[in-house]
């Protein structure tokens, strides 16, 4: 087996407790190496992404990549796997990178910091390999994922992919085009925070019943800082109001492709849970 699991400074199997007064058992984390563990990951993929999802990473691919430079870490509640992070070795501009293909956590544990801890473990293992860049795609309409990626991890985004994975069978995607941000996580750099003061608003969220619509879109702004608003609850919108979800997809596609094409990049995300909204900060 490749030597990165030994080189890592953090223990391979350890526990994270929620708080001193919490009576719940701690979530534990460990690197995954066995065929039984790989099979458990496949089962968890199907559980998280739902019935009909047929883009699972199968056991043979997990086995080969984890033995040849990939990173595969599982999160456990007792003996039950409740989450995992998986990345493959990659090359960008002739330099080794990690491509983080999947981060999955069961619904009941998504507010407990499990996803963030899995990403930090991935970072530790990548650093032990001498790697400074981890990349992945995520749906820019998923506000809570954006909050994790920007506010907790400190990614930047300057690339927008249209329908990257084609039509997905997952009910989480609802037949919506699989447009994606490519997140760049420069793991050796300090987190830089950007001031949104004075940013011009590219669009506006207008209430429409239980949802928000995208209104007042401006594609000709030239301020150094711009704000792009999105609603929370896009997954629910995909099933409850699919036509509106498609409108949001097309509107944000126009916004991001226009401004990224002009040299802007996304550097922050601000989540307003009580209002059910979020906003990206773009800088030129």
Confidence at residue 6, expressed as pLDDT on a 0 to 100 scale: 25
227, 233, 235, 241 alpha-carbon torsion, rounded to 10°: -100
Q: Give the up-direction half-sphere exposure of residue 98: CA atoms within 13 A in the CB hemisphere.
A: 30
Q: Provide the token pair at 226.
A: 């711009």
Domain coordinates of the chain in residue numbers?
A: 4-186, 200-283
- pLDDT tens digits for 3-32? 222 223 333 444 443 433 455 679 999 999
Q: Which residues contact 259 (CB under 8 A, 6 or more apart)?
A: 202, 219, 226, 282
Give the N- to C-terminal CA distance of the chain in Å, as an integer.
Answer: 44
| Predicted pLDDT at 2 | 28
Q: Is residue 276 predicted with pLDDT exceeding 70?
A: yes
For residue 148, pLDDT over 50 is answered with: yes
**Cα 109 vs. chain centroid, distance in angstroms?**
16
Residue 92 has pLDDT above 80, yes or no: yes
pLDDT of residue 15: 46
Give the integer Cα–Cα distance in Å for 39 and 62: 9
Instruction: Identify the CATH homologous superfamily for domain 4-186.
Output: Gcn5-related N-acetyltransferase (GNAT) (3.40.630.30)
The alpha carbon of residue 34 and the mean position of all alpha carbons in its chain are separated, in whole angstroms, by 26
Whether residue 187 contacts residue 123, with contact meaning beta carbons closer than 8 Å, is answered with yes
C-alpha 207/C-alpha 275 separation (Å) is: 11
Q: What share of the chain has pLDDT > 90, as a percent?
A: 82
pLDDT tens, residue by residue, 203-239: 999 999 999 999 999 999 999 999 999 999 999 999 9
Q: What pLDDT shows up at residue 172? A: 59
Flag the least confident range among 109-113, 223-227, 272-276. Answer: 109-113
């Amino acid at each position: 087996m490749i030597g990165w699991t030994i080189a890592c400074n953090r223990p391979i199997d350890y526990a994270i407790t929620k708080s001193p007064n919490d009576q719940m058992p701690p979530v534990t984390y460990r690197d995954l190496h066995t065929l039984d563990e790989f099979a458990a990951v496949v089962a968890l993929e199907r559980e998280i992404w739902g019935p009909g999802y047929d883009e699972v990473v199968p056991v043979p691919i997990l086995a080969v990549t984890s033995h040849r430079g990939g990173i595969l870490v599982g999160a456990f509640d007792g003996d039950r796997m409740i989450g995992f992070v998986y990345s493959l070795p990659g090359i960008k501009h002739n330099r080794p990178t990690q491509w983080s293909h999947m981060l999955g956590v069961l619904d009941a544990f998504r507010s407990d910091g499990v996803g963030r801890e899995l990403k930090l473990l991935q970072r530790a293992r990548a650093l032990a390999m001498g790697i400074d860049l981890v990349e992945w795609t995520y749906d820019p309409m998923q506000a809570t994922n954006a909050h994790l990626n920007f506010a907790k991890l400190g990614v930047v985004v300057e690339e927008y992919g249209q329908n990257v994975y084609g039509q997905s069978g997952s009910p989480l995607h609802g037949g919506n085009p699989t447009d994606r941000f490519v997140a760049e996580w420069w793991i050796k750099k300090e987190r830089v925070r950007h001031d949104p003061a004075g940013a011009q608003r590219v669009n506006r969220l207008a209430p429409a019943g239980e949802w928000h619509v995208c209104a007042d879109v401006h594609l000709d702004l030239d301020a150094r800082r711009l704000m792009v608003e999105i609603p929370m609850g896009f997954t629910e919108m995909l099933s409850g109001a699919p036509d509106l979800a498609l409108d949001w997809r097309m509107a944000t596609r126009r916004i991001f492709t226009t401004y990224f094409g002009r040299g802007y990049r996304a550097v922050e995300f601000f989540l307003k849970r009580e209002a059910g909204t979020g906003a990206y900060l773009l800088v030129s």
